[in-house]
Amino acid sequence: MITIYNHHHALHHGKVEMFRGELVPCFEIPARADYVLQELERRNFGPVQAPSEFGNEAITRVHARRYVDFLAGAWDEWVALDPANAQRDAFPSYWPIRTFRSDVLPASFPARMGLFSYDAGSPLTSGTWQAARAGACCALTAVQRVNAGARSAFALTRPPGHHAGADFFGGYCFLNNAAIAAQALRDAGAARVAVLDVDFHHGNGTQAIFYDRSDVFFASLHGDPHTEYPYYLGYADEQGEGAGLGANLNLPLPRGSDFARWREALARALAAIASFGAEALVVSLGVDTFAGDPISGFRLQSADFVQVGADLAAAGLPTVFVFEGGYAVAEVGINTVNVLEGFAQ
């Protein structure tokens, strides 16, 4: 399998995230992608290639123009507020929740930062835009490889993407690489595309982007949002709306779920994708379902990820894998490459 590697990923390098009243060290760190690359190389898994350059057009197929403009200039605006900010990660302070307007665009940078985000756990840093933009190019290049006939391709990038919506960041995510890939597959001629999200956390951004559409099916297996992040989306009764009704499938599972239980849900998701008639598959590949993950609650073992890959391969679809979460840094490479190897075997 070809890997498209975002060699600019480390330009996004949050120091701290807000957690229960404290700034704690970031879980989403550059070493994560380094470990995956190292493991690909150690196992001689396949070619690792650089992404091609794309303009912002493929990004704005999914993301709002004003959000992309905000991200592109955010760091400079943050530093312009106070030169000392150059040493600090940027965080929002205000959010326009219910009763506030979201159609206005305040001149104040902190006000706009809150308008375009939904949590205080996702620091924006000097190179976040460059890293995220190169990540989107990575996903688009992986799509190109699959369109050129490859059975699969892996976009190895960070920051991750599945929590980012059309016009907001959060959950360590800024640009929704999986959604950008799915849209690019559609634009290249696939009539129906499925996104399968196997990250521990519900892919609220991806769901929201495609919620009213009948051409992109979204399925997600994740920790029950009653107790797990992102809390406000990912419930089983969310089935899509309008033309998209029936094209969204959430399979929340209780904290503590083991592989047997998780795999049953995977089979349900894959059956739904097959009856939808998808011509191509995008997998939001988070491995924070691993038992040793420091911020998640499932119990998959490293060997289980090989079976996950084999189950995904049995769907028989051209597949673009996009790297998402996974915070047990020492094992993130093994677990990720286990999925890819199980798929490729």
Q: How far is the CB of 161 from ligand Q9C (least distance, A)?
A: 8
Tell me the longest C-alpha to C-alpha distance in the chain.
55
User: Comparing C-alpha atoms, which of 183, 237, 236, 235 is closest to residue 206?
Assistant: 183
Quick one: what does residue 211 bind among ligand Q9C, Zn ion, none, with the CB cut-off 5 to 8 Å set by partner type?
none
CA distance 23 to 137: 31
Nearer to Zn ion, 39 or 288 (CB): 288
Q: Determine the 3-state secondary structure of 231 from DSSP.
A: coil
Q: How far is the CB of 84 from ligand Q9C (least distance, A)?
A: 26
CA distance 111 to 68: 16
Q: Which residues bind Zn ion (CB under 5 A)?
A: 199-201, 286, 288, 325
What token pair was written down for 92?
Answer: 């929002």
202 within 8 A of 246, measured Cβ to Cβ: no
Catalytic machinery residues: 163
Chain position whose Cβ is nearest to ligand Q9C: 325
* Beta bridge pairs of residue 2: 153
Q: Which residues bind ligand Q9C (CB under 6 A)?
A: 19, 121, 160, 163, 171-173, 199, 201, 229, 286, 288, 295, 324-325
Q: How far is the CB of 171 from ligand Q9C (least distance, A)?
A: 4
Quick one: what does residue 121 bind among Zn ion, ligand Q9C, none, with the CB cut-off 5 to 8 Å set by partner type?
ligand Q9C
DSSP 200-221: SS--HHHHHHHTT-SSEEEEEE
Nearer to ligand Q9C, 174 or 217 (CB): 174
Nearer to Zn ion, 288 or 341 (CB): 288
Q: Determine the 3-state secondary structure of 83 from DSSP.
A: helix
CA distance 328 to 295: 9
Nearer to Zn ion, 141 or 176 (CB): 176
136: enclosing H helix or E strand: helix 128-147
Nearer to Zn ion, 58 or 132 (CB): 132
Quick one: what does residue 333 bind among ligand Q9C, Zn ion, none, with the CB cut-off 5 to 8 Å set by partner type?
none
What is the residue whose two structure tokens read 């200039």? 73
- Amino acid making up residue 95: W
Q: How far is the CB of 116 from ligand Q9C (least distance, A)?
A: 17
332: enclosing H helix or E strand: helix 329-344
* Stated length of the chain: 345
Q: How far is the CB of 227 from ligand Q9C (least distance, A)?
A: 12
Q: How far is the CB of 226 from ligand Q9C (least distance, A)?
A: 16
User: Comparing C-alpha atoms, which of 187, 118, 117, 198 is closest to residue 162?
Assistant: 198
173 within 8 A of 162, measured Cβ to Cβ: yes
Quick one: what does residue 240 bind among ligand Q9C, Zn ion, none, with the CB cut-off 5 to 8 Å set by partner type?
none
CA distance 34 to 50: 15
Nearer to Zn ion, 92 or 205 (CB): 205
